[in-house]
A and B are shown apart, each in its own frame.
Chain A
């Protein structure tokens, strides 16, 4: 029995449309036109307990809508959705007591309160027994290194500090399911690493199921074994990141430093991508020519100083993927 079951989820937003020109707003007062925007058009997937899945897609693809429906704050127009046997929007109170949610672009802590008082308020909201709460809080404070932040009002924290506090806050009631909506947005490198490490540890040690949306593909590479790609309100791909990579951008690259000026390489299935003095970057199709064969042939004909195979950057893979599926934001 999967922990999360989603079938044929659909959601349409109605937005008021305004005529252009100076009289547009006036005409809108008398006769308002509405336009329907389909945010989700039949999304289905299921998720087992303890999975860590990345939900990616261009802006406006339907990621946040999916998260909002799964977390119970938005009702879909059609489709089925069960989380631990509960229907999020119908059994909202019971459902939200068991999940943790972090929105990278919002704060859920109280802006004017010191962090520790915000935590205490959350303990009251979730009706946590005092001893249990203290133990969890200590664990989270230690993991996220928050000792010195606890007495500061939230508004005085840096973005990275605040995000560490937000994630700790989302875990105080020990949810078995954690939604992270762009948790690393705008963070510096050390903060990103801290967040990733923490999420990985929660998943590994506490068995927390994590659904992560992000535009930072390093988050995905570091964390997610499984990736669901959403575009234009539908699921474009669902599987391990390597499979996605192979499907979207199968080519490999070979970076060669020659002893002299870089020569022209003419081998079937191999293309030149860039050259700079003695350095040459080639792309090749691994199904047409194996990397080892290619390297052997180049080394046989030329004096080579250094040679290594590179994989296309994950960003490039994803961009290519969106392009293949026509999934760029309109």
Chain B
């Protein structure tokens, strides 16, 4: 039942499908640029006010943090899979159970494809503009900088993969909320503020007060943005970087296990609607 062929096929199919939405990718990219620019201007003012010396990250690091966060914005789990919401609304959820599949793994593969396929064009455009074009047109000070080193780059790639697995596990919990409450309204309103704050998207987590930082590092949403980005610009190195990867892996395993058990309960209770 867990042999990977069906799940890989689901991933590939959904991935190809989601890549087709070019207008959505472009619109998302423009929005991400807009917000990124505003944030960077705020940081510039903030760092200018002579706090830079006491700040745990530098302005160029904060700028790189922002562009990376904007580039991979769509990989943060701020909404459930709309296909699941549609299935719940039409009562078609039960029909997934006509397939000889593990329902959790099936939805998970779909959610992972849904997120990564949409992230690729957006991240690519963001990289093109802020990492390549900015330095060429004299905006080098505002650009997305290269990684801190080879080691940082290698660890970042691993961390990015863990980001996707962890984020998909969180999307699955949102999906299950949708399936259990029979609507996507509640949870899709509740989750985004949570994710935007605790992933570091609103304010980089290192800029939070000292007393909050350990707790912020340990909570699961750090793994869907803050940890990989800090590994990238060298804010987390050596043992701290490995601890970051370990946390991402830990939360991935825990949340997948929780989701898998929840799925069994939700599916067992489900009454297939419509006659």
Mark A residues whose CB is within 8 Å of B: 13, 59-60, 64-65, 68, 71-75, 92-94, 96-97, 101, 103, 105-106, 108, 110, 112-113, 117, 120-121, 124-127
Contact = CB atoms under 8 A, between A and B. Distances in A.
A9 B8 CA distance: 38
Instruction: Classify the interface of chain B: helix, strand, loop or mixed.
Output: helix
A75 to B, nearest CB: 7
Interface stretch (B90-98, B133-141, B145-153, B223-231): B90-98
B97 A126 contact: no
B80 to A, nearest CB: 18
Interface residues of B, number: 24
9 contacts: A60-B275, A65-B275, A73-B95, A101-B98, A106-B92, A113-B17, A121-B9, A124-B5, A125-B9
A94 B100 contact: yes
Given A103-B95, A126-B100, A74 B271 contact: yes
Nearest to A63: B275
Please provide the 8 A-B residue pairs with the shortest distance between their CB atoms, ordered closest to farther. A124-B9, A97-B100, A125-B6, A73-B97, A73-B94, A93-B100, A64-B275, A124-B6
B239 interface: no
Contact of B272 (A60, A68, A120, A121): A68
The listed residue with most A CB atoms (<10 A of its CB), out of B95, B98, B268, is B98
Contact of B98 (A72, A112, A121): A72
Interface in B1-42: 1, 3, 5-6, 8-10, 13, 17
Given A105-B274, A117-B13, A121-B10, A72 B92 contact: no
A60 B13 CA distance: 37
Contacts of B90: 106
Interface string B96-138: 0111111000000000000000000000000000000000000
Contact of B97 (A65, A72, A94, A103): A72
B114 to A, nearest CB: 13
A232 B95 CA distance: 25
B100 A59 contact: no
Interface string B256-275: 00000000000010011011
Given A73-B94, A73-B95, A75-B268, A96 B9 contact: no
Contacts of B6: 124-125, 127
Given A74-B272, A97-B100, A125-B6, A108 B13 contact: no
Nearest to A59: B275
A224 to B, nearest CB: 21
A173 B92 CA distance: 21
A96 B6 CA distance: 15
A301 B188 CA distance: 82
Contacts, number: 62
Contacts of B92: 106
B98 A71 contact: yes
A125 B5 CA distance: 7
Contacts of B10: 121, 124-125
Contacts of A97: 100
Interface of B: 1, 3, 5-6, 8-10, 13, 17, 90, 92, 94-95, 97-102, 268, 271-272, 274-275
A108 B3 CA distance: 22
Contacts of A60: 275
A63 to B, nearest CB: 8
A112 B95 contact: no
A106 B275 contact: no
Nearest to A11: B271
B274 A96 contact: no
Contacts of B9: 120-121, 124-125
Given A73-B98, A92-B97, A124-B5, 10 more contacts: A68-B272, A73-B95, A93-B101, A93-B102, A96-B97, A96-B99, A103-B95, A124-B8, A125-B99, A125-B101
A89 B3 CA distance: 21
Nearest to B20: A112
A105 to B, nearest CB: 7
B94 A125 contact: no
B4 to A, nearest CB: 10
A125 B17 CA distance: 18
Contacts of A108: 95, 98
A72 B97 CA distance: 8
B13 to A, nearest CB: 5
A124 B272 CA distance: 25
Given A74-B272, A124-B5, A106 B97 contact: no
Nearest to A94: B100
A28 to B, nearest CB: 16
A124 B101 CA distance: 11
B3 to A, nearest CB: 7
A72 B95 CA distance: 10
Contacts of B275: 59-60, 64-65
